Structure 1
Amino acid sequence: MGGAVRSELRKVFTTRLWWGLLLGVVFLDGLISFGFSFLVGADLGGDNPSASPFLHPNAGTIQLVFSAGFVYYLTPLIPLTLGVLLITSEFRHKTISATYLAVPVRPVVVAAKLVAVVVTGAMYALVHDLAVVAAGGGVLTLRGQPTFLDSGDVWQTLGVSLLTFVCWALLGFGFGMLIQNQIAAILVGIGVGFLAQIILGIVFGLLSWDGVSRWLPGNLSVGMLVTQDPTNGAQASSGDPYFSWWVSALLLTAYGLALSIIGSWIASRRDIT
């Protein structure tokens, strides 16, 4: 098993794939956090407190700054794509047969690939944390705004982001195992991870099914990462739109593991040519 895991990790880190997507994490997440940090403490509406929701920041405001890419369903696309590419590249380049011949027990191959997905996803999350703290936290410091980096809630967000990245990478791996065609799997993954969630969120909102929208993977991510009201009470709310962070974490983990296991089980019963 150890040799199979090392082999899978070597496949990841000897290609340009991993650092190309890693640069995407740095630039995308850093840029979004950079932009959001300018809203903290900004008076945008005069006497209307709801127009300046981040005028009086708290720990939840900084959680939002560091997790804004997840709020807009953009950041999850990177680990999702990573998970898809880590498995579909084998099918695309016809190397999956050699992999199965090298390790004849297919469950061992799948388990090794899952470990590689988890390790790589966690590494991406660490880089994400560094990027958002450097970009967003740097701007906040220069503007004289609090970073709340002494708050346990903010550090919880930075820590839980590791699990969030891993879960989305597992979802991508599951899509890749199910579909196997690289382009199709990426398109389906993006469709589900981005477009479908936006559309379903709008539909559920129009139908007043707020409780149903909690179950969407993107909203589970936000529920894991933003645990305090980022507006510090400036905007009225009809209720908590998310599950508690640990329930969200359990559900998103279940989604990722379920899709990965189902995809792997189906793929293991297909003939490899």
Structure 2
Amino acid sequence: MGGAIRSEIRKVFTTRLWWGMLLGMMALAGLIALGFAALVGTDFGEDPSTGVNPFAEMNAGVAQLVYNAGLIQNFTTLFPLALGVLLITSEYRHQTITATFLSTPRRWIVLVSKSVAVVLIGVVYAIGHALASVAGGAGMLAGKGEPTLLDNADVLQSLGIGVLAFVVWTMLGFGFGMLVRNQVAAVLIAVGFSLIGQIALNIIFAISDWTWAARWLPGNLTGGMLITVDPTGGLGDPDTQPYFEHWWLSALILVGYAAALAIAGSVLTTKRDIT
């Protein structure tokens, strides 16, 4: 098992794919956090229908929103999702999966080893995302004379939960890649649903006043994990928010999605032919 795990980790970290996507994600995360930090203390974030402005003044909820803006807006989640898909589908595309299973005939060992490598790369991406977001967001806040709140327990907790979010999104991609072995199709479907499909569903649910349904979308579950303090200071209506009341409930459901995909993909991978 140890040798298989080391082999899968080397497969990930000896390619240019992981650090190329990491740098792109960090640049995007830093810019998004910077942009959200620029809204603090302004009226640009005010909801015209309610008059509520979550960026009116700095608090722990706003800091959570700023430092996790890329994840909450479902932009930087695309990177771990796509990476998870690519890590497994590239083996099928280049037919290296045959040699992998021949060298380790017990396929469950290979899948467990790949899962460990996926979790590890998810943690690396989470750290990179946090560093870039804090650099962009805190830099803008400090420049505006606003408190960064990086010593606040709720803000630090949110950054820590971000590690779990990244691991789960990478596992979502990995599980989906096992189900849809065609690399191009898997990436397009996964990224397309995450970016466009969820936006469309959020609009449909908002028009239909189905807030309960919106809370089950992976992107909104991620937001529910990361925003544990109300940025509006209690001015917003919690019944209209697409988040569950407790962050851990959102986390459990999102982990359940990843586990379901991983288990279904693993069962199919252990049973079907590889060539």
- TM-score band w.r.t. shorter chain: over 0.9
Q: Call closer, same or farther: CA 1:151–1:3 in 2, change over 3 Å.
A: same
What is the SS of the residue equivalent to 2:272?
coil
Matches within 5 A, 1:119-268: 119-243=120-244, 244-268=246-270
Q: Which amino acid aligns with 2:205?
A: F
Q: Which residues of structure 1 form unaligned runs of 5+?
A: none
CA distance in 1 between counterparts of 2:202 and 2:75 reads: 15
How well do the aligned residues superpose, as a CA RMSD in angstroms?
1.8
**Take 2:43 and 2:184, find their aligned partners in 1: how far apart are those partners?**
45
Instruction: Quote the residue 2:17 is aligned against.
Output: 17
Trace 1:52-63 onto structure 2 (pairs within 5 A): 52-63=53-64
The residue number in structure 2 matching 1:118 is 119
Q: CA contact under 8 A between 2:39 and 2:45: conserved in structure 1?
A: no
TM-score (norm 1): 0.95
CA deviation after TM superposition for structure 1 residue 41, in Å: 1.6
Q: Is the 8 A contact 1:44 1:51 kept in 2?
A: no
In the alignment, structure 2 segments of 5+ residues that lack a partner are none
C-alpha separation between the residues in 2 aligned to 1:237 and 1:57? Answer: 20
Task: Normalising by structure 2, report the TM-score.
Answer: 0.94
In 1, distance between residues paired with 2:112 and 2:236? 46
Alpha-carbon distance between aligned partners in 2 of 1:133 and 1:53, rounded to the nearest angstrom: 19
- Indicate the residue corresponding to 1:5 in structure 2: 5
Q: CA deviation at 1:72?
A: 1.8
Query: Which shifted more, 259-268 or 79-88?
Result: 259-268
Deviation at 1:53?
3.2
User: What is the identity, as a one-letter code, of the residue corresponding to 2:233?
Assistant: N
State the distance in 2 between where 1:206 and 1:50 align. Answer: 19
Give the secondary structure class of the aligned counterpart of 2:95. coil
Deviation for aligned residue 1:25: 1.7
The CA deviation at 1:241 is 3.0
Classify the secondary structure of the residue corresponding to 1:38.
helix
Shift of 1:194: 1.7
CA contact (8 A) 1:100 1:109 kept: yes
Residue 68 of structure 2: SS of its match in structure 1? helix
Alpha-carbon contact 1:54-1:232 (below 8 Å) kept: no
